[in-house]
Structures are given as structure tokens and as C-alpha cells.
Amino acid sequence: MEITGKLLKKSDIRQPSETFTIQEFYLDCSRYNQITGQKRENILKFQVTGSKIDTVLSKVNNGDLVNVFFNVKGRFWEKETEGETKKGHSQSLDVWRIDIKQPSNGETTEYEDDDLPF
């Protein structure tokens, strides 16, 4: 899949295990109503893993307008804790390529990651 947007913020690189590294970033894919001009906010969180962090994500900066190529991955999970089984679902947008359409002009807006749905 492919989508275009403005890179808002890259997270720090995390290493949850010895063999797995991950870096997430936020992309502003907002659109505007053609009649009213009202913004329809659409901020998406993507992830880059392993060696692709250096080859894909290191070349882009906050504020760049980019094309992001990605796969959607999802799975059900179960976790047993203290005799209780929790079940859930997780999904991710795994990036495999980023093309810069327009580099930033040095002006970036600060994006706060609060994980709230509203």
C-alpha cells in the first residue's frame, strides 16, 4: 500500500529483545473538505523494524512530505497472567520504503503523542 503525508515526529529507537529493534513515526495524512475548507484530521502511526531503520527512516526529517509504502499486519493474541487469560488483537503498519516528495523548509510543528482517541 502507499500513502502520502507530512512526517510529524519520529520516536526513539526501541529494542524490546536482543534480535528486534523498532522505530515508530507519525504521519499527517489529513485532508480538507473541498467546499468548506475544513480540515479532516488523519494522523497515522507507522513502524520501521530492523535494518530498515537505517536504510529507510534515517534519511527523512520532521516536516518532510513523503510517500510511504507499507504492509498492514495484524494478529490475535492471548496472554496468561495470574491465572487469567487476556485476549486481544494487534495490528501495525509496517513500512518498507519512503520516498521524499518535498523536503521540509526547516519549520516543523511539534506533535504530542498522548495516545488518546479524541
Per-residue pLDDT of the chain (118 residues), as tens digits, is 999 999 999 999 999 999 999 999 999 999 999 999 999 999 999 999 999 999 998 889 999 999 999 999 999 999 998 889 999 999 999 999 999 999 988 654 454 555 545 4
CA distance 111 to 20: 26
SS3 content of the chain, % helix, strand, coil (to 5): 5, 60, 35
Is 39 contained in some domain?
A: yes
* CATH (domain of 29): 2.40.50.140
Is 31 contained in some domain?
A: yes
Domain that holds residue 91: 2-102
Is 47 contained in some domain?
A: yes
Is 107 contained in some domain?
A: no
Is 83 contained in some domain?
A: yes
pLDDT at 58: 87
Class of residue 19 by CB neighbours under 10 A (exposed 0-12, middle 13-18, buried 19+): exposed
Please state the pTM of the whole predicted model: 0.79
pLDDT at 111: 46
pLDDT at 81: 87
Number of domains, the chain: 1
Closest CA to 23 of 3, 40, 35, 7: 7
pLDDT at 101: 94
Is 115 contained in some domain?
A: no
CB atoms under 10 Å from CB of 100, counted, come to 14
